[in-house]
């Protein structure tokens, strides 16, 4: 290996810069390779000339470890195999990606992304004839093969902090406060943040609920000496009848959000309690990475470079049983890892008196 490429792909999150720092340090200083940071994910390689920044371990100041976002930029638009054109049609631009790889002389690529990015980038790298190693990142924590993805822990901190701030105002006004979290089709953020922040109700897309069951639970909470309640709902939760609640306009790419307002209407109607909604949105993706995410990012970055050095490609670094390991990409690119009904944290939520669907 002489030249290693690194890029971030998909939605950003806290801890991406910490991964890039670890990859660069280890590849540059320990292995002695040239490191090129590709700008804006696969888009940077598809352009002529390709857009990149040469990365040197000694030019990083330690601010990078602490900074949110990705200084390389990222994209979640445009699968190069089906790249959207201005006239609404699609074109296969995977050849442009391979041309970019050749022009930069990359021998291998570290891709920091979620399951969707891993799937697309592994096909692109195969076609371009270079080895790829993946590093999982996503606030949704829905990547198979790893207990934790970079960004998840920081997002949980944001949710917990939001509940810490909502509880006193809920108590002062005797209100039901609804907090809508991100997570796409997975409920990991809502479940983990909801438990940590002491929610009375947690709704996740993977577990069905009824408005009757939910309202009966709130009534019980409010009749046991408490005059307020906290409810956390994941953005992927549907209506009681299973209809999607989405803020997408017709013809737009699917965007989640808005289920909090549906619940506000239904709960205030049935319970008669004053109800307010907070949609956390992209606050969950920004800000300083938590210590846990910095640790994960550093361990993942170093291990990814080791895999490249050993030419063990088509693998993703992962966290399992208190340590960093690696798993085949083929086991990761099978789709999103949703919450399973036997997840121990579901029992934990129920064990502390939280409603998380009728039993």
Q: What amino acid positions are annotated as catalytic residues?
A: 140
Task: For ligand F6P, give the closer residue by CB, 15 or 131.
Answer: 15
- 44 interacts with ligand F6P by CB under 6 A: no
Site string for ligand F6P, 171-190 (x = CB under 6 A): -----------xxx------
Min dist. Cβ of residue 140 to ligand F6P (A):
5
Helices (runs of H) and strands (runs of E) counted in the chain? 11, 13
Is 11 annotated to bind a ligand? Reply is yes
Q: Which of 139, 202, 307, 324 binds ligand F6P (CB under 6 A)?
A: 139
CB of 184 to ligand F6P, least distance (A): 5
Q: Of all residues in this chain, which one has the CB nearest to ligand F6P in the complex?
A: 182
Q: Is residue 78 part of an annotated ligand binding site?
A: yes
* DSSP code string of 223-249: HTT---EEEEEETT---TTS---B-PP
**Residue 267 three-state SS:** helix
Three-state DSSP class for residue 326: strand
Q: In Å, how far are 80, 88, 262, 267, 334 from 83, measured between CA atoms?
A: 5, 10, 35, 43, 22
Burial letters 197-224, b for 16+ CB under 10 A, else e: bebbbbbbbbbebebebbbebbeebbee
- Contact criterion met (CB below 8 Å) for 315 and 300: no
Residues 79-138 that bind ligand F6P (CB under 6 A): 138
Q: Is 63 helix (H, G, I), strand (E, B) or coil?
A: helix
Among 140, 200, 264, 326, binds ligand F6P (CB under 6 A): 140
Which residues between 221 and 240 bind ligand F6P (CB under 6 A)? 235
Q: Does 3 bind ligand F6P (CB under 6 A)?
A: no
Of the two residues 62 and 252, which places its CB atom closer to ligand F6P in the complex? 252
Q: Is 12 annotated as a binding residue?
A: no
243 annotated to a ligand binding site: no
- CA gap 275, 237 in Å, rounded: 18
Binding residues for ligand F6P (CB under 6 A) = 11, 76, 138-140, 182-184, 235, 255-256, 285
């Amino acid at each position: 290996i002489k030249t290693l490429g690194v890029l971030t792909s998909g939605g950003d999150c806290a801890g991406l810069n910490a991964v890039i720092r670890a990859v660069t340090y280890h590849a540059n200083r320990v292995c002695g390779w040239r490191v090129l940071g590709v700008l804006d994910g696969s888009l940077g390689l598809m352009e002529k000339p390709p857009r990149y920044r040469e990365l040197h371990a000694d030019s990083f100041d330690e601010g990078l470890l602490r900074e949110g976002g990705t200084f390389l930029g990222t994209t979640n638009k445009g699968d190069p195999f089906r790249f959207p054109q201005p006239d609404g049609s699609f074109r296969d631009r995977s050849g442009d990606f391979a041309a970019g790889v050749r022009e930069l002389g990359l021998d291998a690529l570290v891709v920091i992304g979620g399951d969707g990015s891993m799937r697309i980038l592994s096909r692109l790298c195969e076609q371009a004839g270079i080895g790829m190693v993946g590093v999982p990142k996503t606030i949704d924590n829905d990547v198979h093969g790893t207990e934790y993805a970079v960004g998840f822990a920081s997002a949980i901190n944001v949710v917990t902090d939001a509940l810490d701030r909502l509880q006193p105002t809920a108590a002062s006004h005797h209100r039901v406060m609804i907090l809508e979290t991100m997570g796409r089709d997975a409920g990991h953020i809502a479940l983990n943040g909801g438990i940590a922040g002491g929610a009375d109700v947690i709704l996740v897309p993977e577990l069905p609920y009824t408005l009757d069951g939910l309202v009966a639970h709130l009534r019980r909470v409010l009749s046991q000496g408490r005059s307020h309640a906290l409810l956390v709902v994941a953005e992927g939760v549907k209506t009681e009848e299973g209809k999607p609640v989405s803020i997408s306009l017709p013809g737009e790419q699917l965007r989640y959000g808005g289920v909090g307002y549906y619940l506000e209407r239904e709960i205030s109607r049935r319970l008669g309690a004053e109800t307010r909604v907070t949609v956390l949105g992209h606050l969950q993706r920004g800000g300083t990475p938590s210590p846990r995410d910095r640790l994960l990012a550093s361990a993942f970055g170093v291990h990814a470079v080791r895999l490249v050095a050993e030419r063990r490609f088509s693998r993703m670094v992962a966290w399992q049983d208190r340590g960093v390991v690696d798993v085949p990409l083929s086991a990761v690119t099978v789709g999103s890892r949703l919450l399973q009904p036997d997840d121990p944290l579901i029992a934990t939520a129920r064990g502390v008196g939280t409603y998380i669907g009728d039993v």
